[in-house]
Structure 1
Amino acid sequence: MDIGPVFSAAADTLRAIPRSELLMAAVAAMVIGWIGALVAKRTALGGILKTASSVALGAILLTVVLQLSRFDPRFDVAVPQIGLPEQVVAGGETRIPISPDGHYWVRAQVNGVPGNFMIDTGATLTAISEPLAERAGLEPRRGGIPIMLGTANGTVQAYVSTVESLTFGNINASGTDAAVAANFGDFNVIGMNVLARLGSWRVEEGTLILVPKAADRID
């Protein structure tokens, strides 16, 4: 069995710890728990430390679950108090003709900053290149977890950011989760976390037609 990918994934996770408040908090909680276990038989402080460690790890696990659940539009989790705003897609019908390369491309605005995006129904998350993210003022989500994404060039590590406004055609998406990584080059993707929040989308004679939900349309 080739264990190379296992070691590579473990190394990526270790390198991500200093850049993730959540991972650092998890490591700190585990260390406190170990200390508590060592001194539990000699002092009541040990029990307090063990309890505090368990509570902290439980809160961290809940935060991770909430963040991961947002990748699936069926759950639509929103907890603004911890930086997880509601993801809303509204506007009017937008028609996108197929490009000569066989893909659907749009000129979008990320927090008012323009960039070219490919519409990709096979992408779970919207993905934004690091140069565009920097110009749009996107920052890693506080307490966010690093994620691994499969790309044409292999698996890359990315961070998740919140896009206040992603506008293309007649559609505006707000509170959108987006993956940002240097390895994307200058490639940007609008994924299913945006498309699945539409009322419908279909292809007619080579044209992609995006239609917001009736309650969210702006006619």
Structure 2
Amino acid sequence: MNLDELTGFLIGQPLLSLTIAAILLAVAAGMIAAGNPRLGRIMRNCAYLGLIAALLLTVAELAGHNGRSEAALWLDATRPAEIVGKETVVAMRADGHFWVEAQLNGEPVEFLIDTGATYTGVSQRVAQRVGIQPDPEDRGMILETANGSIVARRGTADSLGFGGIEANALTVAIGPDTEVDTNVIGMNLLSQLAAWRVEGNRLILTPKTPSPRT
């Protein structure tokens, strides 16, 4: 391998290049330290930082290839929905589900879009934060969740919106904090749409066209 080929190979392998450069810098620091301790110490610290950066970038790269890892889920944060034409697009996260950052009564809340849930649901803590009070006349309802059956109270959200989707006066199930760790957007919102479908790693939601005013 000649010099040009080696250079091209290293350019195509930035993590390897960073690791080699850090090792060479550490070796040079050891050689210089005897004559110039201060410069040697600076070079050695820079070499350590380079090795740490290479390690962190390697972990991030491995996490990206392993979509189910905890690191991948941490790196793949929930994002706001994207508006494409008249449709709202929600990207699938690394865990294989569709999460979206929505505005609930004007406050940001992370939701899992769950087509198997009858109602949109939040924890009691989130309900208090956004100003949703349980209906005083509601005696509660039993909901089936991933953690089993829970008793939830009905409340009403003034607004819930994300992308081009907006729902008003939406019934919300409020569950106990000890039993609800995921806020969900359920079919009582999705059924208000004109259509929704999954294409590859995208959930595409189409709002209903408002009726023309007379």
**Same topology, TM > 0.5:** yes
1:158 Cα deviation after fit: 0.7
CA distance in 1, matches of 2:136, 2:186: 22
Partner in structure 1 of residue 204 of structure 2 = 209
Partner in structure 2 of residue 95 of structure 1 = 89
Higher relative contact order (CA 8 A, sep 6+): 1
Structure 1 or 2, whichever has the larger Rg, is 2
> Which residue identity is paired with 1:131?
R
1:129 and 2:123 correspond: yes
Greater CA deviation, 155-164 or 184-193? 184-193
The equivalent position to 1:156 in structure 2, one of 150, 160, 176, is 150
Residue-by-residue CA offset, 1:2-49 (whole Å, 9 max, x unaligned): xxxxxxxxxxxxxxxxxxxxxxxxxxxxxxxxxxxxxxxxxxxxxxxx
The equivalent position to 1:200 in structure 2, one of 158, 174, 195, is 195
Calculate the TM-score normalised by the size of structure 1.
0.55
1:107 and 2:98 correspond: no
Calculate the TM-score normalised by the size of structure 2.
0.56
Q: Which ranges of structure 2 fall in alignment gaps of 5 or more residues?
A: 1-85
- Partner-residue secondary structure (3-state), 2:118: coil
CA distance in 2, matches of 1:141, 1:176: 13
- Partner-residue secondary structure (3-state), 1:164: strand
CA distance in 2, matches of 1:177, 1:200: 20
CA contact (8 A) 1:110 1:136 kept: yes
CA contact (8 A) 1:130 1:184 kept: no
Q: Percent identity?
A: 45
CA distance in 2, matches of 1:184, 1:133: 14
CA distance in 2, matches of 1:216, 1:154: 41
Distance 1:203 1:112, change over 3 A: same
1:216 Cα deviation after fit: 6.2
CA contact (8 A) 2:120 2:171 kept: yes
> Which residue identity is paired with 2:192?
R
CA contact (8 A) 1:128 1:184 kept: no
CA distance in 1, matches of 2:99, 2:211: 23
CA distance in 2, matches of 1:115, 1:122: 20
1:205 Cα deviation after fit: 2.0
CA distance in 2, matches of 1:215, 1:172: 12
CA distance in 2, matches of 1:147, 1:216: 34
RMSD over aligned Cα, in angstroms?
A: 1.9
Size of the aligned set, in residue pairs, is 127
Distance 1:163 1:184, change over 3 A: farther
Q: How does 1:1-219 map to 2 (within 5 A)?
A: 92-182=86-176, 183-215=178-210
CA distance in 1, matches of 2:211, 2:95: 32
1:142 Cα deviation after fit: 3.2
CA contact (8 A) 1:126 1:179 kept: yes
- Partner-residue secondary structure (3-state), 1:215: coil
CA distance in 1, matches of 2:181, 2:162: 18
Q: Which ranges of structure 1 fall in alignment gaps of 5 or more residues?
A: 1-91
